[in-house]
Amino acid sequence: MKRSKVISRVLIFIGILVVLNLISEKLFLRLDFTADQRYTLSGATKNILEDLDDVVTVTAYFTKDLPPQLQKSRKDFENLLIEYENRSGGNVIYEFINPNESEAEEQKAQQKGISPVMVNITEKDQVKQMRAYLGAVLQMGDKTEIIPMIQPGAGMEYSLTTSIKKISVLDKPKVAFLQGHGEPSPNASVQVLQQLSVLYDIEPLTITDTTDIPAFYKTIAIINPTDTFPQSEFEKLDKYLNTGGSIYLAYSNLQTDLQSQYLNTLPDIGVMGWLADKGITMNNQYVIDANCGAVTVREQNGPFIMNRQIEFPYFPILSKFSEHPAASGLESVIMPFVSSISYLPKDSAVSIEPLAFSSENSGVVNAPVYIDIQKEWSESDFNAPSQVIAISAEGPLSGTANSKMVVIANGTFAVNGEGQQQQQVNPDNVNLASNAIDWLSDDTGLIELRTKGITSRPLKQIEDTERNLYKYGNVALPILLMIGIALFRRQRYARKRQAWIQGDY
């Protein structure tokens, strides 16, 4: 090939690269091959961005020279903002600021609510600490929302979308937490409250004799009532359902106090009969499960007192869920002292669907029962698999109007407690409660974002012989492949050389 032709082809190739780069400045495209589609915008995000009627400014405060693992978070966030900008038609604009450039910039970031985190970096074989900023401030008109720290992974989209939704919504829908029957206050479910308050106004509600339940409430949440309901209040709840309202009920019909070793059913406060009218029954049986949590037992070991963890089947860990939106994306929900639920709709127009199940190695124990923490459990104890723990119901539950309910056979699974008794709750417990209320309230579909994440996929356990086969095969196979290619090429060259010698070319 002539030199001039080579040069012209190289110049054409460079020109194509330049044009493609110019086009890529205007267009943003990436292919998502992940199983959980973590790099694909959800339908809820797209709807929220397309409905924006004003500009949202995102100021991202990110340290410039971050360690590689954090640098990826910065790049992922920037790519996400590019997609938001394109999808919103320019109603999302952004800028990146490096607060570490000066003390003045650091003070500005901290005044806006972005605090640094200490991270380790390695320089010249020495480990040092640096202040790193990984937050963002969103502004729309006079409304401001802060993301103190951008979480890597799928939670990034949830944080950004919910923040945009929070500052763009004018009137939040209302959700009521029922009071007056021994229920904990809304503040006792602080983790649930934090998630729901992004999209809803949460209010306490006490039913009175003189007024009906306002129809503007999207959902009435009834959480762990312990005192009797007057019949008139059930009539008002049914009337609310007949306006198209929704009810979330987390209720325990069995004792849940581990301090008492003799556990029994609780007196009926009217809830059981009310549910029975709708074809829903909470059974007087404790669900036990081989897949369970543990309790701490203090044991005397000589002069010392030791704490020991013992698996406790009365604390089932649920990992089996339906494809229902309220249970979507959940992986592990802890349900201490829970009963099973049976259901048979009395109206064919009512659809009842199970949401959460115990494992295949579960069983039931009739109440009353004596609790022996030291008991040795056998396989025969777990002879009732896949017990239903939570259900959803949809249709004319009371009257003729379509309404919705979620019933969970445990009143305290997502309650933190109050004051000094407050405790952190398992994240998926909170997600189940929040997802259920989201589905009942029928908002923008952010349910799928809350639990969007990486599914746990532990490595398959294999025998040592098989492991060694893979181990040494990975070493030997590439070498044998290269030797095979070399022999093939040598043989082909020999045939060509022989053809040249014989003049057959």
Question: Both 21 and 39 in a single domain?
Answer: no
- Do 206 and 334 lie in a common domain? yes
Same domain, 140 and 183: no
- Spell out the residues 6+ positions from residue 333 whose beta carbon is closer than 8 angstroms to its own: 317, 318, 319, 356, 413, 426, 428, 429, 432
Q: What percent of the chain has pLDDT over 90?
A: 46
Q: Could you list the residue range(s) of the whole structural domain that residue 7 is in?
A: 1-30
Two structure tokens written together for 348: 């064919």
Helix or strand holding residue 58 (H, E): strand 56-62
Return phi, psi of residue 116, to 5°.
Answer: -75, 160
The verdict on 87 and 5 lying in the same domain is no
* For range 247-270, the mean pLDDT: 89
Q: What six digits make up the tokens of 109? A: 């970031």
Least confident of 64-73, 289-298, 373-382, 480-489: 64-73
What is the C-alpha separation between 44 and 325, in angstroms, rounded?
13
Same domain, yes or no: 21 and 53 = no
- Centroid of chain to Cα 128: 34
3-state DSSP call for residue 63? Answer: coil
Residues 126 and 191 in one domain: no
Answer yes or no: is pLDDT of 361 > 80. yes
53-62, 306-315, 316-325, 388-397: range with lowest mean pLDDT: 306-315
pLDDT digits (tens, 9 = 90+) for 448-470: 666 665 455 555 666 778 878 88
What's the pLDDT at 425? Answer: 93
Q: Of 138, 167, 196, which residue constitutes the final position of a domain?
A: 167
In a domain, 458, yes or no: no
Residue 459 domain flag: no
Q: What's the domain count of the chain? A: 4
Mean pLDDT on 77-106: 90
> What is the arithmetic mean of pLDDT over 122-127?
68
Domain boundary among 149, 167, 185: 167
| Local confidence band at 70 (pLDDT 50, 70, 90 cut-offs) | confident
Q: Mean of the pLDDT values across residues 48-69?
A: 87
Residue 183 and residue 301 in one domain: yes
- CB 410 within 8 Å of CB 254: no
Can you list the pairs that 297-305 forms with residues at least 24 positions away whose Cβ atoms lie under 8 Å? 297/373, 297/374
Q: What is the dihedral of CA 74, 80, 85, 88, to 10 degrees?
A: -150
Q: What is the mean pLDDT of the chain?
A: 86
pLDDT score, position 413: 95
Give the model's confidence band at 73: pLDDT under 50 very low, under 70 low, under 90 confident, else very high: confident
Burial class (CB in 10 A: 0-12, 13-18, 19+), 61: buried
Q: Is residue 455, in this structure, part of any structural domain at all?
A: no
B/e letters for 227-258, b = 16+ CB within 10 Å, e = fewer, are eebeeebbebbbebbbbebbbbbbbbbbbbee
**DSSP label at 183?**
P
Contact 373, 260 (CB under 8 A): no
Is pLDDT above 70 for 69?
Answer: yes
Residue 30 has pLDDT above 90, yes or no: no
Are residues 116 and 245 both part of a single domain? no
Q: Are residues 16 and 62 in the same domain?
A: no
Note whether 455 and 35 are within 8 A (CB): yes
Structure tokens at 479: 């070498």
Q: At residue 355, does pLDDT exceed 60? A: yes
The whole-number pLDDT of residue 301 equals 73
Give domain status of residue 130, yes or no.
Answer: yes
373, 310 in Cβ contact below 8 A?
Answer: yes
DSSP code, position 464 = H
Q: Give the pLDDT confidence of 260-278 residue by residue, as tens digits.
A: 778 899 999 999 999 999 9
Phi and psi angles of residue 280, each rounded to the nearest 5 degrees, phi first? -120, 130
* Residue 316, domain member (yes or no): yes
Q: Answer whether residue 309 shows pLDDT above 90.
A: no
Does residue 61 form part of some domain? Answer: yes
Q: Are residues 20 and 81 in the same domain?
A: no
How many whole angstroms separate alpha carbon 393 and alpha carbon 371? 33
64 belongs to a structural domain? yes
Residue 454: per-residue pLDDT: 47
Letter string b/e over residues 266-283, b meaning 16 or more CB atoms within 10 A of that residue's CB:
beebbbbebbeebbbbbb
Residue 287 scores a pLDDT above 70: yes
Q: 288 - beta bridge partners?
A: 363
For residue 267, what are the contacts with CB-CB under 8 A and spacing of at least 6?
A: none
CATH assignment at residue 122: 3.40.30.10
457 lies in some domain: no
Q: What number of other Cβ atoms are within 10 A of residue 151's Cβ?
A: 13
Residue 298 has a pLDDT of 78
Q: How far apart are CA 481 and CA 415, in angstroms?
A: 60
Q: What is the pLDDT of residue 461?
A: 63
> Please, what is the end-to-end C-alpha distance for the chain in angstroms?
21
Q: pLDDT digit string (tens) for 414-436? A: 999 988 778 999 999 999 999 99
- The answer, yes or no, to whether residue 36 has pLDDT greater than 60, is no
Asked if residue 284 and residue 355 are part of one domain, the reply reads yes
pLDDT in tens, 192-246: 998 888 788 999 999 988 889 999 999 999 999 999 999 999 999 999 999 999 9
For residues 190 and 217, state if they share a domain: yes
252, 409 in Cβ contact below 8 A? Answer: yes
**Residue where one domain finishes, among candidates 105, 133, 167:** 167
